[in-house]
């Protein structure tokens, strides 16, 4: 009986195959732009500018990628990759550290101004950097932080999303643990290092994945504050590789750069899929 | 919710929150305050002094036909992006949910585009539809359709919508799939015994049970299309042709940095601030309280 009902709900036979066909079609359609970029990064410029371009990879992979990595258009892509890496890791690590500390303070202490601080956090959740770009730009320029890693990183860790998440998590840590620590004569920081931080490991890792991608994929902010090509990040640098005016873009190199720009975040997402999904659900809900 | 057990002292917590307070004060509250402040002034053409004008910037904006057009563009764009990313995602999630084996493999494959930055997605789609070298535009040409998003506003809008929605399909798929997996099997099986076929079960049972996720995704996707699609629009159309893809966030950028009109740009920031506030309230009202039917 149970088996029959099962058969009515989960499809078998023709229905099952049809479902697979739909899924495969969906995956193919979604993958097509990436595939095309990959193909374009393995053929020569003449093959692309005389449409239609081939749909199967050519033999120029090494030439195009080494050209992109070591000479690029304005600046070698290697430089942009390093900049992106520093920015993404800086944002992820910086935000995690400051928010672990402040979430610990608001959960485990009662201090004057605690409520104001909590409302401050709430406010910052609402305003993406896109909305306050002009004045933020002026602040960063005033500090002389244009074309610097500090300028790339600090304005993007100013929102308190992570603090809010850690606060929610710390509230679920059983009171007995803090009680025990206090009875044993351990101070607050001892408790923080020996209990709170180890318990937050999974949350920290999940948040790291989300923040790394957030930082890596930034576009508008690096576009504004890195006027020196040496400081360009890869995601914003690609647009700078298009020639102004009517010149033909160096498509193979641009597409090789696009592929290089997606490799690190794709590796992070696919290899840490479980953590990533958990991080997504936690940070949005 | 409060902790029963707390530690004593006030200088230690003050020290702990200091970095966060400092960074948000300098890079968040001060600039946000500046945006509000500057929106009340008009700087002279040389940027040497500025004159207090009250709400004139806002009055000017709201009567400016380009700004009002930008509001409409943003609304059309957000609705289209939300629909184009949620419907395919729901369809794929429903399909994946019917599979007993292999859904994990599809999930891994479908997750990819989420990791691709909006600006890169813009470059990929621009490449496919490029008027000179694009594969898709070339085949469209063979079919007798002359694709030119550089001149045709409607086509430009279509292209930025698809490019923006593409990466979001992965995101929405993950949430729909997780929600579908959480639908109790017993309910579905009971309906199946009563003779309800797949699509009937979907419309009458599954979809209503998905409503909290759907509402949540609606809000999140609208917020996404408002604020995170700048990269797509900047790489593909730069707001053109004739401002047909200039959404509000793009206009803050182009008036503030390209046009150097700080007063107007700040006033636009303030208006956006209200829009975000409104969306946040909607999100809390509908999503946090979990709509269930």
Taking only the tens place, the pLDDT of each residue in A189-208 is 899 999 999 999 888 988 88
A98 contact B CB<8A: yes
Residues of chain B contacting residue A8, judged by C-beta atoms under 8 Å apart: 189, 192-193
Q: Please, are residues A221 and A231 in contact by the beta-carbon 8 Å criterion?
A: no
Mean pLDDT of A41-70: 87
Whether pLDDT at B153 is above 80: yes
Chain A contact present for B111, CB below 8 A: yes
pLDDT at B61 exceeding the cut of 80: yes
Asked whether the beta carbons of residue A33 and residue B262 sit closer than 8 angstroms, the reply is no
Question: CA dist A67 to A36, A53, A215, A239, B280, Å?
Answer: 19, 21, 26, 17, 46
Fold of A77-284: MetI-like fold (1.10.3720)
CB contact under 8 A, A254 and B227: no
Percent pLDDT > 70 in chain A is 89
Is residue B3 in a domain? no
Of the listed ranges A13-22, A128-137, A168-177, B181-190, the least confidently predicted one is A128-137
Range of the structural domain that residue B155 is part of: 64-288
B264 to chain A nearest CA, in Å?
11
Q: How far apart are CA A97 and CA A77, in angstroms?
A: 30
* Integer Cα distance of B188 and A274 in angstroms: 27
What DSSP state is assigned to residue A43? S
- Compare CB distances from B6 to A110, A160, A254 and report the shortest one's residue: A110
Q: Residue B32: its pLDDT value, please? A: 84
Contact A154 B124 (CB under 8 A): no
- Residue B68 in any domain: the answer is yes
Q: Do B23 and A157 touch (CB under 8 A)?
A: yes
Q: How far apart are CA A254 and CA A237, in angstroms?
A: 10
What does R_g of chain A's alpha carbons equal in angstroms?
24
Taking alpha carbons only, the member of B98, B83, B90, B92 closest to residue B211 is B90
What is residue B293's predicted lDDT score, i.e. its pLDDT? 38
CA B29 to chain centre: 23
Q: What is the pLDDT of residue A42?
A: 93
Which residues does chain B have within 8 Å of residue A16's beta carbon, measured at their own beta carbons? 98-99
Token look-up 């993007």 returns A156
Q: B274 — contact with chain A (CB < 8 Å)?
A: no
- Tell me the DSSP string of A138-157: HHHHHTT-TTSHHHHHGGGG
pLDDT value, residue A10: 56
Inter-axis angle of helices A201-216 and A273-284, nearest 10: 90
- Quote the radius of gyration of chain B (alpha carbons, Å): 24
Give the chain B residue whose CA is nearest to the CA of A116. Answer: B21
Q: Does residue B245 belong to any structural domain of this protein?
A: yes
- For B163, B165, B264, the CA distances from A259, given in Å and listed in that order, are 16, 19, 38
| Stretch(es) of chain A classified as CATH 1.10.3720.10 | 77-284
What does the block give as tokens for A248? 């033909």
* Residue linked to tokens 């040409």: B141
pLDDT at res. B202: 87
Contacts with A112 from chain B: Cβ below 8 Å: 10
Which chain A residues are Cβ-neighbours of B265 within 8 angstroms? Answer: 134
**Cα–Cα distances in angstroms (integers) from residue B254 to residues A134, A226, A276, B95, B281, in the given order:** 11, 17, 34, 42, 28
Give the highest mean pLDDT range of A71-75, A81-85, B29-33, B58-62: A81-85
Q: Provide the pLDDT for residue B233.
A: 94
Mean pLDDT of all residues in chain A? 86
Q: How far apart are CA B238 and CA B245, in angstroms?
A: 8
Cα three-residue angle A246-A231-B113, rounded to 5 degrees: 70
DSSP string, chain B: ---SS-B--SHHHHHHHHHHHHHHIIIIIHHHHHHHHHTTEEE-TTSS-EEE-TTHHHHHHHH-HHHHHHHHHHHHHHHHHHHHHHHHHHHHHHHHHH-SSSHHHHHHHHHHHHHS-HHHHHHHHHHHH-TTT-HHHHHHHHTT----TTT-HHHHHHHHHHHHHHHHHHHHHHHHHHHHHTS-HHHHHHHHHTT--HHHHIIIIIHHHTHHHHHHHHHHHHHHHHHS-HHHHHHHTTT-STTTT--HHHHHHIIIIIS--HHHHHHHHHHHHHHHHHHHHHIIIIIITT---
Least confident of B165-169, B254-258, B288-292: B288-292
Residue B180 forms part of a structural domain: yes
Per the CB < 8 Å rule, is B19 touching A187?
no
More confident call, A46 vs B86 = B86
What are the chain A neighbours of B185 within 8 Å (beta carbons)? 9
Distance CA B263, CA A37 (A): 41
**Mean pLDDT of chain B, nearest integer:** 86
What mean pLDDT is predicted for residues A129-150? 86
Residue predicted with more confidence, A154 or B9: A154
Name the residue among A23, A160, A266 with its Cβ closest to that of B24. Answer: A160
Q: What is the pLDDT of residues B178-232, one digit of tens each?
A: 888 888 888 888 888 888 888 888 888 888 889 888 888 888 898 889 888 999 9
Interface check A25 vs B, CB under 8 A: no
Question: In the numeric block, which tokens belong to residue A183?
Answer: 């009875």
The reported pLDDT for the residue numbered B4 is: 67
Q: Per the structure, how many domains does chain B have? A: 1
Whole-angstrom distance, CA of residue A224 vs CA of residue A151: 10
Q: How far apart are the first and last CA of chain B?
A: 28
Residue B222 lies in a domain: yes
- Picking from B98, B135, B188, the nearest residue to A53 by CB comes out as B135
- Identify the pLDDT of residue B234: 93
Q: What CATH number does residue B230 fall under?
A: 1.10.3720.10
Q: What is the pTM of this model?
A: 0.88
Cβ of residue A59 closer than 8 Å to a chain B Cβ = no
Q: What is the mean pLDDT of residues A209-214?
A: 90
Packing angle of the helix pair B103-115, A251-271 (nearest 10 deg): 130
């Amino acid at each position: 009986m149970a088996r029959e009902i099962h058969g009515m709900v989960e499809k078998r036979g023709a229905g099952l195959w049809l479902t697979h066909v739909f899924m495969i079609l969906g995956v193919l359609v979604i993958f097509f732009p990436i595939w095309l970029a990959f193909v374009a990064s393995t053929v020569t410029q003449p093959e692309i500018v005389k449409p239609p371009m081939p749909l199967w990879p050519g033999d120029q992979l090494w030439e195009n990628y080494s050209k992109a990595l070591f000479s690029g258009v304005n600046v070698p892509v290697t430089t942009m990759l390093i900049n992106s890496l520093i920015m993404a890791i800086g944002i992820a690590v910086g935000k995690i550290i400051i928010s672990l500390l402040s979430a610990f303070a608001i959960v485990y202490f009662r201090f004057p101004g605690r409520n104001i601080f909590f409302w401050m956090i709430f406010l910052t959740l609402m305003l993406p950097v896109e909305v306050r770009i002009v004045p933020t730009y002026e602040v960063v320029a005033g500090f002389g932080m244009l074309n610097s890693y500090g300028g790339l990183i600090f304005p993007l860790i100013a929102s308190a999303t992570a603090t809010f998440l850690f606060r929610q998590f710390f509230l679920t840590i059983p009171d007995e643990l803090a009680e025990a620590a206090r009875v044993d004569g351990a101070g607050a920081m001892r408790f923080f290092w020996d209990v709170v931080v180890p318990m937050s490991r999974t949350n920290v890792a999940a948040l790291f994945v989300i923040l790394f991608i957030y930082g890596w994929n930034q576009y508008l902010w690096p576009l504004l504050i890195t006027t020196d090509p040496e400081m360009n990040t890869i995601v914003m640098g690609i647009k700078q590789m298009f020639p102004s005016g009517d010149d033909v873009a160096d498509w193979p190199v641009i597409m090789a750069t696009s592929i290089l720009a997606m490799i690190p975040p794709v590796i992070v997402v696919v290899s840490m899929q479980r953590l990533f999904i958990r991080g997504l659900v936690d940070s949005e809900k | 919710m409060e902790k029963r057990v707390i530690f004593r002292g006030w200088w230690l917590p003050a020290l702990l929150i200091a970095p966060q307070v400092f960074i948000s004060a300098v890079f968040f509250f001060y600039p946000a305050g500046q945006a509000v402040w500057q929106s009340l002034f008009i700087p002279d053409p040389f940027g040497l002094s500025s004159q207090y004008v009250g709400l004139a910037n806002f009055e000017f904006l709201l009567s400016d036909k380009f700004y009002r057009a930008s509001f409409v563009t943003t609304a059309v764009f957000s609705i289209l992006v939300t629909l184009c990313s949620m419907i395919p995602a729901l369809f794929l999630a429903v399909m994946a949910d019917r599979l007993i084996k292999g859904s994990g493999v599809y999930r891994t494959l479908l997750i990819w585009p989420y990791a691709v930055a909006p600006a890169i997605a813009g470059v990929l789609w621009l490449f496919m539809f490029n008027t000179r070298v694009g594969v898709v535009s070339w085949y469209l040409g063979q079919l007798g359709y002359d694709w030119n998003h550089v001149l045709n506003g409607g086509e430009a809008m279509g292209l930025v919508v698809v490019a923006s929605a593409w990466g979001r399909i992965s995101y929405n798929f993950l949430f729909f799939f997780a929600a579908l997996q959480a639908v109790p099997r017993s309910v579905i099986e009971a309906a199946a015994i009563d003779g309800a076929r797949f699509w009937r079960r979907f419309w009458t049972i599954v979809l209503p049970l998905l409503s909290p996720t759907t509402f949540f995704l609606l809000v999140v996707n609208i917020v996404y299309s408002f604020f995170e699609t700048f990269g797509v629009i900047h790489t593909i159309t730069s707001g053109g042709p004739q401002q047909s893809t200039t959404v509000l966030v793009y206009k803050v950028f182009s008036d503030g940095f390209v046009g150097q009109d700080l007063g107007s740009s700040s006033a636009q920031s303030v208006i956006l601030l209200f829009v975000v506030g409104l969306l946040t309230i909607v999100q809390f009202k509908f999503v946090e309280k979990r709509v269930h039917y």
